[in-house]
Amino acid sequence: MLFISHAKQLLAGSPSTSLSIYYRYYWVSFDPINVAEGLFAIANIFSFSRICFLLPAFQHLGPLQISLGRMMSDIGKFIIIFLIIFCGFMFGLNNLFWYYKETVRKNVEITHHASGDDLSAEKHFGTMATTFKTVFWSLFGLAEKEGVELQKYNKRFTEIVGYLIYGAFNIANVIVLLNMLIAMMSKSYETIEEHADVEWKFAR
């Protein structure tokens, strides 16, 4: 519909219409070309992964591929536990700081005490999307520990609870669960490695 309307304006010779309207800047987010490029990027990954079908032909790479395939069950079990804990902390942090989103503050506060100020808690946990990003990237040590601070809102108790929840998440997921996954995969790999050569020859 957007293309048809602009095509009519071009045919009518409207002076306000410019071909620059068809630049990417003006496209909607789910424009077919954007979607096609996204799907093509994902297809590139799957295309290169098909090279793995050739690995069983090699003596050194074949057993390794079989071992990795057998460890997928351990990864699946870990992901279930990980998602439960991840979602629990994510919803908890968002529910703790949802009020400090600027649009919410403007709607409920008669006097805008911190209007226009960017709160760390709002930037990191103001919405579910930002909370997900913060919690996810904290797994790799890329999040800021000051993300729970409320600056001009002197809510010390809320900040302390935020620090405790955020710290507990990093202890539970980053220190405990990730190391547990490494230990599980190491044990499974050692068990499979003993018979990997026989299974590789059988797989060929």
Could you read off the pLDDT tens digit of each residue along the chain, which spans 204 residues? 555 555 555 455 544 445 545 677 778 888 888 899 999 999 999 998 888 777 777 777 777 777 777 788 778 888 888 899 999 999 999 888 887 777 666 666 655 555 555 677 778 888 888 889 989 998 888 877 777 777 777 778 888 888 899 889 988 888 888 888 888 888 877 777 777 667 666 766
- From 134, 116, 117, select the one nearest 125 (Cα to Cα): 134
Same domain, 35 and 79: no
- Domain count of the fold of the chain: 2
User: Model-level pTM?
Assistant: 0.67
> Residue 49: inside a domain, yes or no?
no
Residues 75 and 16 in one domain: no
User: Under a CB-based contact definition with an 8 Å cutoff, are residues 182 and 41 in contact?
Assistant: no
pLDDT digit string, tens, across residues 122-143:
788 888 888 899 899 988 888 7
Give the chain's end-to-end CA distance (angstroms, integer): 55
Residue 76 and residue 159 in one domain:
yes
Please give the Cα distance from 91 to 86 (Å, whole number).
9
Res 90: pLDDT: 92
Q: Does any domain span residue 52?
A: no
**Cβ-count burial 92-111 (b if 16+ within 10 Å, e if not):** bbbebbbbbbbeebeeeeee
pLDDT tens digits for range 44-57? 999 988 887 777 77
Domain of 129, in residue numbers:
58-203
Identify the pLDDT of residue 175: 84
User: What is the predicted pLDDT for the residue at 117?
Assistant: 58
In a domain, 53, yes or no: no
Q: Is residue 48 part of a domain?
A: no
